[in-house]
């Protein structure tokens, strides 16, 4: 009788998800990497960031703890970050040069290798939701701009006014960025490097100089705003997702690495899942998310070693800055970054969450 009662209680605990699982599962999230100075964040601001990161990582963890899938956990965590004005995604998206907002997002299922992404959308409250719908409800991987929003309407999404994403702090960033860009582009040095002052190029590297100058003058301290999540569920399935408002004062329909599978987002069962944040052009050129997983898969390196080599060696040598969150098939987590800080949080089964901003927490 006693044995039957114990078994019944255990069965109830397991079925309701209140008993810790012995299967590995874990989640990591980030809210962007960059010049995050302790001196520039008040204790109240630090608490706001940490509280929101805690809320986001707990939302994903709760899904995993109850036996939910990694895709749902990733989406839930990113939704919370997209709905906060603290981070450069969704509600907190930065302004483009013309005073609008253009958002990108991607998500990948490590079990099926299916992926979905959207780029340059202006009227989608939660871009990660549309990216997931592209993956699940279309034969495509990426949709962009007006076409992505037309597809959204066919799937029951509501388009929101572009001013829904307006915030005073982001507007002040835009004003500051535009002043610096305009001052820089009116300088004789800049015009000489582009050939604008003479009507001709100044040498074989003038095109490169133009591209690099445009990046140098338009990214600034808030260039790395991105949010993302990676997760391993109890069935061993990996998933990754990334969402961003892009670069402050960006022009010409610029798209970074966040919606690019293999650059800003990647997941493959049995290998790893990665979400990136940083100087997008470098993450695209160096295939950062995919490169980390390739090192794990083909060179048999640990997730910590692989991520560190790419972020703190290869990327630094190339001149790129940023960071990643990554999880392997056993639930091990890596969160390297080569900037002053990276908003991030991690949580594994049977362990409390860790919420961090700098290298010393």
DSSP letters spanning 300-332? ---HHHHHHHIIIIIHHHHT--EEEEEEETT--
More confident residue, 291 or 22: 291
Find the angle CA(358)-CA(359)-CA(360) to the nearest 5 degrees.
Answer: 90
Q: Alpha-carbon distance 185 to 194, whole Å?
A: 10
226 has catalytic annotation: yes
pLDDT over 80 (residue 160): yes
Kindly report, residue by residue over 200-228, the tens digit of the pLDDT.
Answer: 444 444 444 444 444 444 444 445 589 99
HSE value, Cβ hemisphere, 13 Å, CA-based, for 15? 6
- CATH fold, domain 21-164+222-356, is 3.60.20
Percentage with pLDDT > 70 across the chain: 84
Q: Among 226, 244, 335, 339, which one carries the catalytic annotation?
A: 226
Q: Which of 174-178, 237-241, 256-260 has the lowest mean pLDDT?
A: 174-178
Q: Domain coordinates of the chain in residue numbers? A: 21-164+222-356, 167-219
Model pTM greater than 0.85? yes
Q: Are 272 and 292 in contact (CB under 8 A)?
A: yes
Tell me the binding residues: 254-257, 277-280
Q: Alpha-carbon distance 228 to 119, whole Å?
A: 15
Tell me the binding residues for substrate: 254-257, 277-280
Q: Identify the pLDDT of residue 261.
A: 99
Residue 79 has phi, psi (to 5 degrees) of -55, -45
Q: Identify the pLDDT of residue 198.
A: 46
What 3-state class would DSSP assign to 333?
A: strand
Q: Identify the pLDDT of residue 202.
A: 44
Confidence of residue 46 (pLDDT cuts 50, 70, 90): very high
DSSP β-bridge partners for residue 278:
322
Percentage with pLDDT > 90 across the chain: 77
């Amino acid at each position: 009788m006693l044995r039957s009662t114990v078994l019944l209680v255990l069965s109830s605990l397991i079925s309701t998800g209140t008993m810790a699982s012995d299967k590995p599962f874990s989640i990591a999230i980030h809210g962007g990497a960059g010049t995050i100075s302790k001196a520039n964040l008040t204790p109240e601001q630090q608490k706001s960031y940490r509280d929101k990161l805690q809320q986001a990582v707990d939302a994903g963890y709760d899904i995993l703890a109850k036996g939910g899938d990694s895709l749902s956990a990733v989406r839930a965590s990113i939704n919370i970050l997209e709905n906060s004005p603290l981070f450069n995604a969704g509600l907190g998206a930065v302004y483009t040069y013309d005073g609008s907002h253009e958002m990108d997002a991607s998500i990948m299922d490590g079990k099926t290798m299916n992926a979905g992404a959207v780029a340059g959308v202006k009227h989608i409250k939660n871009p990660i939701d549309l990216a997931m719908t592209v993956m699940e409800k279309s034969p495509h991987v990426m949709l962009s701009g007006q076409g992505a929003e037309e597809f959204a309407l066919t799937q029951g999404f509501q388009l929101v006014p572009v001013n829904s994403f307006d915030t005073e702090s982001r507007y002040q960033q835009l004003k500051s960025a535009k002043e610096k860009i305009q001052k820089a582009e009116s300088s004789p040095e800049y015009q000489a490097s582009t050939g604008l002052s003479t009507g001709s190029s100044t040498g074989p590297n003038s095109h490169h100089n133009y591209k690099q100058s445009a990046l140098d003058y338009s990214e600034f301290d808030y260039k790395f705003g991105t949010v993302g999540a990676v997760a391993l569920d109890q069935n061993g399935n990996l998933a990754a997702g990334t969402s961003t408002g892009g670069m402050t004062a960006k022009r010409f329909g610029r798209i970074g690495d966040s919606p690019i599978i293999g650059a800003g987002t990647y997941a493959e069962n049995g290998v790893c899942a990665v979400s990136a944040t940083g100087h997008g052009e470098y993450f695209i050129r160096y295939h950062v998310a995919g490169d980390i997983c390739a090192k794990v898969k083909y060179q048999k390196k640990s997730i910590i070693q692989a991520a560190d080599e790419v972020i703190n060696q290869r990327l630094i040598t190339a001149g790129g800055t940023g960071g990643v969150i990554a999880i392997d098939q056993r639930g091990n987590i890596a969160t390297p970054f080569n900037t002053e800080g990276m908003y991030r949080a991690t949580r594994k089964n049977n362990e409390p969450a860790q919420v961090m901003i700098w290298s010393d927490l």
